[in-house]
Amino acid sequence: MTHSNMNNSKPKSLSGDLGPIVHVSNLNLQYQYKLVLKNLNWTINRGENWLLGGISGSGKSSLAKVIAGLQNAVGEVEFNFNIDSALPAKVLFVESWYQFKNVEGVANFYYQQRYTSLQAKETLTVGAELISYSKENNLEFAEVEKLLKALNFSSLRNSQLLELSSGEHKKLQLIKALWLKPQLLIIDQPYTGLDKDSRKTLNSLLDEICADGVQLILICNDTELPASINCFAEIREGQLVQVESREMISTAPERTSRELPDFLKQSPVYSSENIVKMIDVSISYGEKMVLRNINWEVKAGEKWLLQGPNGSGKSTLLSLVNGDHPQSYANNFYLFGNKRGSGESIWDIKQHTGIISPEFHWYFDASSTVWQSVASGLFDSVGLFRQLPFSQKAKVDELIEFFDLTENKDDLLSSLPLGKQRLVLLARTIIKNPELLILDEPCQGLDQQQTQYFNQLVDELCNNGMTLIYVGHFESALPSCLEKRIVLENGEVKAIESIAESCLV
């Protein structure tokens, strides 16, 4: 394919009489044997801002990557940037889920190491990253201050990039995009991991840059969009179909319900009535207090919702429950009836629990197939490092079938759409029928339909008496089995209540 005039555009006509900013013709893209885009045509005219919605796996992200020059395909993508504009004559693509790999100074890092307190700060900080970005793109630093403030990012300036959560990385990508103001900006799942206020802020910031001449393509199925969005489309059978409004975009068919595998119908075998018991638990890094005097008890079979704004300490709290936090050992804190640090290993703890979090997903072994990923849950390892006996293999097959993943079982996990990857990790997490299931924003990056599907599955799975701790934003869709709620704010417990009592959910 050709990328005509990507960076140094020569206009075909004088300004004032500019043609379409992008003209895509006869685009074809195939992944192995699967045809994703088929003779796709798309013209984006001046003043148009598009919403690209529709079913997961229909090729939206692939199309965006082809336009951004990040993915090869057969066909033509012609750009016609305005050279008289002050805005950079380029297209920028913000990924739905930023895969942060090139960490200077660290070859092999696992997310759990975020919790380790280390004196030597050897990797790039947010501040240094922004400085180098401003130099690379000739941007005014004063401009970004406003964005950092608007998106509540200022306090993270001295954090190392690898200390950021995946949601914070996403925000950083958005900040850079809003700062750069490219003539064409494509954002895949712009609202992932943002709380309600941040979403609103993002929409008004997007409207502002549109007013300055940026053209947008947003890929999502969300309902609250920037006012500037004025065109709607989806991909059907590899072709772009423009529709009248957001409501006309197709939705995924209802999930056909399947019978749970027998081994998941049985109640987990509880070793203790008490799953979690924290007495005045505090965590700090140097002077910085992350959790303060937490008192919390989770009993066998309870279904908890954990909530709190970004940075309130939710992930740290869960890292304690999952045995991941090095400071567990100095706190008065019991897991499955045993005091932490009384001679148990983290593998003993992990045997009782299953966890999914955005960070866990992020650092998951990219070279694993779907089947290997699910099977690795039996050993709590990230990727499969051993042979399985027949009965365990059968269990893996059965679970993969239940999740409708049989046709993908030999695919690389990383080659599936995000929603399906999450299902694989859910399957991995429950394969041992754990006593405690921890789902930390399991639907981050998923659209509404995928979220609904996922939560429905969680309800089915937890029917057998499994204990659940589920983290979701205040406004996100939740499974209906949740019965209790703990709310954190600034590292402290703000409320513990039963969900029936509170009318907020």
Contacting residues toward another protein, per CB under 8 A? 101-110, 112-113, 116-120, 285-286, 323-324, 326-330, 343-348, 365-367, 376, 379-386
Nearer to another protein, 210 or 356 (CB): 356
Q: How many Cβ atoms sit within 10 Å of the Cβ of residue 58?
A: 21
Nearer to another protein, 308 or 323 (CB): 323
Compute the least distance from the CB of residue 180 to another protein, in Å: 17
Report yes or no: 425 and 354 within 8 Å, Cβ to Cβ: no
Q: CA nearest 319: which of 335, 343, 303, 304?
A: 335
Q: Is 317 helix (H, G, I), strand (E, B) or coil?
A: helix
Distance from C-alpha of 357 to C-alpha of 379, rounded to nearest angstrom? 18
Distances (CA, A) of 445 to 11, 78, 105, 236, 309: 37, 30, 28, 22, 17
Compute the least distance from the CB of residue 9 to another protein, in Å: 20
Compute the least distance from the CB of residue 106 to another protein, in Å: 7
Compute the least distance from the CB of residue 1 to another protein, in Å: 17
Report yes or no: 446 and 252 within 8 Å, Cβ to Cβ: no
Compute the least distance from the CB of residue 367 to another protein, in Å: 6
Q: Is 6 helix (H, G, I), strand (E, B) or coil?
A: coil
Write the DSSP string, 22-76. EEEEEEEEEETTEEEEEEEEEEE-TT--EEEE-STTSSHHHHHHHHTTSS--EEE
- What is the CB-side half-sphere exposure of residue 494 using CA atoms within 13 A? 12
Compute the least distance from the CB of residue 134 to another protein, in Å: 16
3-state secondary structure 388-406: CCHHHHHHHHHHHHHCCCH
Strand partners, 50: 217, 231
Nearer to another protein, 226 or 434 (CB): 434
Report yes or no: 454 and 176 within 8 Å, Cβ to Cβ: no
- 160-192 burial by CB neighbour count: b if 16+ within 10 A, else e? bbbbbbbbbbbbbbbbbbbbbbbbbbbbbbbbb
Nearer to another protein, 116 or 267 (CB): 116
Compute the least distance from the CB of residue 304 to another protein, in Å: 25
Interstrand relation of 22-31 and 74-79 (parallel, antiparallel or unpaired):
antiparallel
Nearer to another protein, 270 or 360 (CB): 360
Write the DSSP string, 229-268. --EEEEEETTEEEEESSGGGS--PPPPPP-PPPHHHHSPP
Distance from C-alpha of 429 to C-alpha of 437, rounded to nearest angstrom? 8
Report yes or no: 375 and 392 within 8 Å, Cβ to Cβ: yes
Nearer to another protein, 149 or 339 (CB): 339
Nearer to another protein, 118 or 248 (CB): 118
Nearer to another protein, 110 or 474 (CB): 110
Compute the least distance from the CB of residue 67 to another protein, in Å: 19
Nearer to another protein, 39 or 116 (CB): 116
* 344 contacts: CB under 8 Å, gap ≥ 6: 335, 338
Compute the least distance from the CB of residue 326 to another protein, in Å: 4
Compute the least distance from the CB of residue 115 to another protein, in Å: 9
Compute the least distance from the CB of residue 132 to another protein, in Å: 12
Nearer to another protein, 215 or 316 (CB): 316
Compute the least distance from the CB of residue 330 to another protein, in Å: 4
Beta-sheet strand order (sheet of 231-236): 91-94, 184-188, 215-219, 50-53, 231-236, 239-243
Compute the least distance from the CB of residue 488 to another protein, in Å: 21
Q: Which helix (H) or strand (E) holds 79?
A: strand 74-79
Nearer to another protein, 119 or 245 (CB): 119
- 270-294 burial by CB neighbour count: b if 16+ within 10 A, else e? beeebbbbbeebbbeeeeeebbbeb
Q: CA nearest 400: which of 366, 363, 367, 425?
A: 425
Nearer to another protein, 272 or 456 (CB): 272
Nearer to another protein, 287 or 407 (CB): 287
